[in-house]
């Protein structure tokens, strides 16, 4: 009953462990405790997700309700240490989801009155982690939660480990991160061809002392209007498969050149998803 999810592995940054890929594609279902007539909810299983800082990955989740239709599905992330880096999440509230509602009761549910046939929903979470001077592993819990129309709820927990990226050289104090500097929105799920505007936050963007550089460090190249300004605009590329883009903002009080690395930097994640039903973005 569970749909099959297939993801391309993009070079440079988007990846998960082979164990996770096998577990997701197999979509092994764990049956939860149910109510009358087998009305419980089940969730797909999977092993630990591993992610290098400075990179992004997609984690697929599926929930199946046997008798009653699902009404909600969300992801949450619990850091297991207070000093763990803050992660960037896209589609955390499942604004983009594959929903399959069985409006006609099946032979297995028709004997129980008031059942609306059950449903299966799939929702992909996009996760990105900035380096931010990261030198040790950081552990988290990924929690997938769902509720059906009678209020039955299930949560499924998966381990996430973020590791320092050996390909990113961080030499303190040459590279520092400005406290509170961020991009708004920090994460978006967009239809190909949709316009998107990104804004620097956490610094005085009107201060002429700052120099800016926006660039795409993962995903297809696009034209960035205002790449040297505190606000940048772009049109998302026309892609036929789910694609991750990571857009980086650098800020410095001196000119930013290949020889002169920016002192401050941060990133935003954009998930370009052709399955989005409308031309636009769901941003977080």
Radius of gyration of the chain (CA): 21
Question: Does one domain contain both 228 and 130?
Answer: no
- pLDDT, residue 19, reads 32
Domain boundary residue among 128, 163, 198? 163
Q: How many domains does the chain have?
A: 2
Question: Does one domain contain both 120 and 60?
Answer: yes
Report the CATH number at residue 65: 2.60.40.10
Burial of 98 (0-12, 13-18, 19+ CB in 10 A): middle
Averaged pLDDT, 60-70: 85
Residue 176 lies in a domain: no
Q: Which is more confidently placed, 110 or 217?
A: 217
- pLDDT, residue 61, reads 85
Residue 48 lies in a domain: yes
Question: Does one domain contain both 121 and 244?
Answer: no
Q: List the domain range (segments joined by +) for residue 261.
A: 182-283
At 177, is the pLDDT very low, low, confident or very high (cuts 50, 70, 90)?
very low
- How distant, in Å, are the alpha carbons of 19, 25, 216, 255, 262 from that of 208? 49, 51, 24, 12, 16
Question: Does one domain contain both 206 and 108?
Answer: no
Question: Does one domain contain both 87 and 198?
Answer: no
Question: Does one domain contain both 271 and 197?
Answer: yes
With a cut of 70, say whether residue 105 has pLDDT above it: no
Residue 173 lies in a domain: no
Averaged pLDDT, 72-82: 90
- pLDDT, residue 62, reads 87
With a cut of 60, say whether residue 110 has pLDDT above it: no
CB 162, CB 134: distance < 8 Å: yes
pLDDT digits (tens, 9 = 90+) for 6-55: 333 333 333 333 333 323 332 323 233 333 334 566 666 677 888 888 77
- pLDDT, residue 40, reads 60
Q: Which is more confidently placed, 3 or 101?
A: 101
With pLDDT > 90 as the criterion, what percentage of the chain qualifies? 16
């Amino acid at each position: 009953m569970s749909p099959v999810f297939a993801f391309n592995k993009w070079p440079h940054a988007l990846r998960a462990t082979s164990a996770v890929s096998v577990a997701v594609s197999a979509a092994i279902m764990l049956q939860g405790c149910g109510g009358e007539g087998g009305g419980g909810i089940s969730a797909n299983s999977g092993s630990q997700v591993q992610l290098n800082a400075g990179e992004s990955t997609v984690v697929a989740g599926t929930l199946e309700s046997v008798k009653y239709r699902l009404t909600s599905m969300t992801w949450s992330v619990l850091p297991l240490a207070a000093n763990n880096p803050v992660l960037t999440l896209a589609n955390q509230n499942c604004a983009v989801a594959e929903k399959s509602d069985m409006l006609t009761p099946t032979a297995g549910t028709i004997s129980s009155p008031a059942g609306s046939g059950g449903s299966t929903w799939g929702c992909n979470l996009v996760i990105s982690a900035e380096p931010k001077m990261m030198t040790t592993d950081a552990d988290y819990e990924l929690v997938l939660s769902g509720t059906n129309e009678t209020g039955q709820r299930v949560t499924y927990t998966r381990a996430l480990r973020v590791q320092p990226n050996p390909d990113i050289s961080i030499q303190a104090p040459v590279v520092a991160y400005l406290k509170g500097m961020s991009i708004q929105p920090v994460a978006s799920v967009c239809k190909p061809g949709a316009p998107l505007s990104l804004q620097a936050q956490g610094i005085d963007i009107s201060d002429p002392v700052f120099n800016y550089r926006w660039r795409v460090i993962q995903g297809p190249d696009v034209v960035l209007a205002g790449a040297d300004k505190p606000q940048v605009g772009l049109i998302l590329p026309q892609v036929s498969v789910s694609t991750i883009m990571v857009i980086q903002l650098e800020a410095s009080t001196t000119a930013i050149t290949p020889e002169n690395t920016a002192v401050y930097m941060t990133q935003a994640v954009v998930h370009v998803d052709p399955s989005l039903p409308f031309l636009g973005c769901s941003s977080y």
